[in-house]
Chain A
Amino acid sequence: MRFYSFRVALALLLLLAPLTLLAQAQYLLRGVVRGTDGGALPGANVAVPTLGLGAATDANGRYELSLPAGRHRVVASFIGYKTVTEDVNLRGPQRLDLVLSAGTELQEVVIEGSGTLEQKLQTTQMGVERLSAREAKLLPALFGEVDILKTLQLKPGVQNGGEGTSGLFVRGGSADQNLFLVDDAVVYNPNHLFGLFSTFNSDVVQSVDLYKSGFPAQYGGRLSSVVDVKLREGSRDSFGVSGGIGLISSRLAVEAPIKKGKGSFLVAGRRTYFDVFTRQINKLNEDTKDYNPIPDYYFYDLNLKANYQLTDKDQVFLSGYFGNDVFGFNSTRGFNFDFHWGNRSATARWSHVFSPKLFTNSTATWSYYTYNIANKLDQFSFGLGSNIRDWNLRSDWEWRPTEKHVVRFGGSGTVHHFGVGRLQANGGSFNIGQNVEYDGLEGGLFAADNFTVTDKLALDYGLRLTGFRSGSNDYGGLEPRAAARYSLTPSLSLKASYALMYQYVHLVTNSGASLPTDIWYPSRLSVKPQRSQQVSTGFSWLLGAGKFLLTDEVYYKWAQRQIDFRDGAQLFVNPELDAEFLFGRGWAYGNEIYLEKKQGKTTGWLGYTLAWTKREFEPQRGTNGINGGRAFFPTYDRRHNLTLVLLHKLNKRVNLTGSFVYTSGNPTTLPTARIGVQDVYGGELQAVPIYPDRNSFRLPSYHRLDLGVVYKLKPWRTIGGESDLTLSIYNAYNRRNPYFIYIDEVKNEETGLPERYRARQVSLFPVIPSLTYNFKF
């Protein structure tokens, strides 16, 4: 592998050169912000209003403020918590941990301080969305199943893959170009039930950060976005149980201190119960002749998280996930079918604070995704499967040499194992075994400096060096990252960013949706790493005495070595799969306008995106490419996208919420012509569709209104605690949104011959009300 070690060392030195600025005579105030349950609160705001200084806590709830010596009043606030004020007399570096208690009103009420908007105004980071599980829980959800990925789809620049699905398509990127991290472990398929639900149980999610551009240097490996999910920690003070009973699933979480004030654990589970009903239906029909039983289907998730404060400077975390979808079928005709798929992941992290200016996280993760199909008929049986497994070690360092610099550096190494395809087939006289496997080694080194040059100008610049080896194939590249913010006025900032990204692993999929049988494939032979570059610029403007933040971002992204597949490609258990790939380029550009309000009884946001996405695959490898080599719009191209989200606290017990979405119809391919094929012996004349240019037709536009009410019930007399009823109405005005259109043949009832052809539109979800009961004690 070509790591360019000397050049990298030189580059890192150059990066760190501006650090020669000397420290000021100020002292560092640092600490951790926690809830009363002991869990760290990432994204909380800690500020000294008299000095106009503030900081947001990091993923571990840590904050740091550089303050002049003397007395200061420190204010800490966070969504859904009472604001806390503490006085400090700073005579040297000092630690101040802050504990916030949940609001007396509904736990989920949004009372986020204006500091958050100010931080968004001041930060150099562009194209980032932070979402707390509390926000997601308030919003109406399909079948009442709160899904943090679907909430992210309400943000500008993020498209879904189809009605009700949790797939993300960020700024023209495809579904496999998102890096999903849960407590730093990669999740390869974050979907249940073909994308209708995500694998993130909202009961255990603390927050989600979505990066669309200006990617920080510590992230790499995907072209289009990073979805960084942090799970919450259990209470360090008391035993607690929370959960919910919904239309299609129930949830339960148990948390308790390991040692009071020192550490805690959290165990949470979720399971659907479609299968309970379908089994009963099958049982009632078991005597019905020719009855086809409904297959069993269910999914479940299990999360575990534990943390322990070893010393004042050392803390350890363990986090684990185990989830499966199970689909089974037993036919009376002797056919048995079992299909299951799921993710597992584990994270172990050690945080150590060397000094008030230097701390580190050392993390080991393990990720695994697998699917297996087993099929049996009399003496015939076959099994088909695929998996991907990662072992990852990473070290992240943060160093604050002066109040003007925050330096982050570190490295990571991942050992991948790609079980691209496994087939076992046995019959009366044959026994087939085929296994296609590859190994890969991925490494990355990064360094970045967030440099506050003046009160008006801040820079964030960094470099990431990545490399990948699979067999005898080596790849590598430098990924520069840069962002700048210039404050025109105290309430108006201009911003710009640039990022280059490489992606060394690729999803082999031949469908428009995220399917569990999609396979991950390494860069090898003709399959070179994907590469993208993105520039974006825009402004953030604090309006209405700090109550509103208006953000506008323009972006242009261009990508090389995008992948697709030749028609009729053999994607399964093919040792020469690389020969089935086609390579092309893609580009996307657009403008995102975003107005948000996070303070007061009524909060929410309004977003509008105008965007274009195109891909082009020229003739190659004995094919005409895709679409004859002409550029085309992928199915996730949407010209206009408007979202309005409102949350209103009516009184102490009632929260009203609503969201409205409007998007242009997605491109699709409809057959323009037909031919008749008689075929050989037997059968009837069949109409065979002839397709024109790919995605040359657009479905009608999509719009939908969802409404929700959260009603807090009275505390239980015996054990205290709290509970609420959440009513969601999905698609409130029952819009028949197009899911897809097909051409149907209408036959004459008497002759059985085709009479005419018609276009039919299929919609997926009508108005769907749902009620969920949530509790916590």
Chain B
Amino acid sequence: MQIRQLPWIWLTLTRGAWLRGRAPRRLLGGAGLLAALLLTTGCGLQKDVDVDLPAEPAQLVVECYLEDGKVPELTVTETVPYLSAPTATVLNDVTVTLTSPTGRVETLVFRPGRNFTTRKFYTHRGLRVLRIRPGDTWQLSVKDTKGRVVTGAATMPATVPFDTVEWKFNDRPADERRALVTVKFQDPPGVGDYYRFQIHRDSISGAREVDYNPEDRLLDGQLITLGTSYEFEPDDTLFVTLYHLDRPYYRFLQSVDDAQSANGNPFGQPAAVQSTVQGGIGVFTILNYQRRQIIVR
């Protein structure tokens, strides 16, 4: 069930959604559902129903995150009816090219596989490592034999280094001793900087313990501190990552979150996914992040 449980309410708040100004609405969505939750849980007030959802023409869906020093990988799929079975459909008639700032065209070949570091699947992969610097703009073109075309452009954001990465334990008894983590960084002058703060435990391919997207609307040019609740155990190995995002990617993340929240939230307003590409749905962006490995003890 998609109804957010109570801890979600404060996780939303502690995880900084308020910085982008949506926390109160989400809070209320969650808190308002409290009564519903209490009443519906265990009372048999949910049931399967048949709904007749109209079929829309399938659109291409693209997901591609470029990184400096990495071989580019891209996943192309298409939209499927929501209630259809979750079977993987691989599109084998899609041509993908990237164009560098200098105009050099890189072809990504159809070679479905899985990246062993990130554990992410891809359908197309480049033939060589890319060198990308902040400010570089790359173009994407995705075409299939049915005439569907998706295009996009992405610019690598500037590097925003960590100022400090710290942790602190609470004063609870030994078996309840937990640490919070804080990071500080200097926001560049000028409103319009977007960030993503993630913490992974043990491996960067595992579940994200912390993941939120602050912006500098109210913090422009300041030394920004981001933090967690007391949630890490002694000797935890953590990967702390701070992404500096461009606005289109930030909007994409935000809209994906909104679209998911609206399904199962009677207070939510359905939101369209704000793609960073044209002609289809999806995201094409260039990542620039700082990552530090720490052991809290």
Contact = CB atoms under 8 A, between A and B. Distances in A.
Interface stretch (A78-86, A216-224, A405-413, A570-578): A570-578
A554 interface: no
Q: At the interface, is chain B mostly helix, strand, loop or mixed?
A: mixed
B205 A568 contact: no
Contacts of A755: 86
Nearest to B122: A678
Contact of A761 (B7, B21, B46, B255): B46
A682 B29 contact: no
Contacts of B85: 756
Interface string B1-44: 11100110110011000101111110111011011100110011
Nearest to A757: B83
* Size bracket, chain A contacts: 35 or more
A761 B47 contact: yes
Nearest to A573: B21
A511 B54 contact: no
Contacts of B29: 511
Interface in B211-258: 211, 217-219, 222-225, 227, 229-231, 241, 243, 251, 254-256, 258
B294 interface: no
Contacts of B258: 567-568
Contacts of B132: none
B28 A682 contact: no
Contact of A517 (B28, B170, B260): B28
Contacts of B35: 193-194, 196
Contact of A680 (B3, B65, B225, B265): B65
A515 B83 contact: no
Contacts of A760: 1, 46-49
Nearest to A380: B227
In the complex, which of the residues B32, B75, B219 has the most CB atoms of chain A within 10 Å of its own CB atom? B32
B174 interface: no
A382 interface: yes
Interface stretch (B90-98, B145-153, B154-162, B267-275): B267-275
A673 B32 contact: no
B290 interface: no
A513 B29 CA distance: 9
B63 interface: yes
A754 B273 contact: no
A568 B21 contact: no
B131 interface: no
Interface string B194-216: 00001010001111100100000
Contacts of A294: 6
B256 A743 contact: no
A51 interface: no
Interface of B: 1-3, 6-7, 9-10, 13-14, 18, 20-25, 27-29, 31-32, 34-36, 39-40, 43-51, 53-56, 58, 61, 63, 65, 75, 77, 79-86, 118, 120-121, 168, 170, 172, 176, 178, 180, 182, 184, 198, 200, 204-208, 211, 217-219, 222-225, 227, 229-231, 241, 243, 251, 254-256, 258-260, 262-274, 281-283, 287
Q: 7 closest Cβ contacts across the A-B interface?
A: A742-B264, A194-B32, A740-B266, A669-B270, A572-B21, A754-B86, A517-B24
Interface of A: 162, 193-194, 196, 292, 294-295, 297, 327, 329, 331-335, 337, 339, 373, 375, 377-378, 380, 382, 384, 423, 425, 427-430, 432, 434, 510-513, 515-517, 567-568, 570-574, 669-678, 680-692, 694, 696-697, 700, 736, 738-744, 753-766
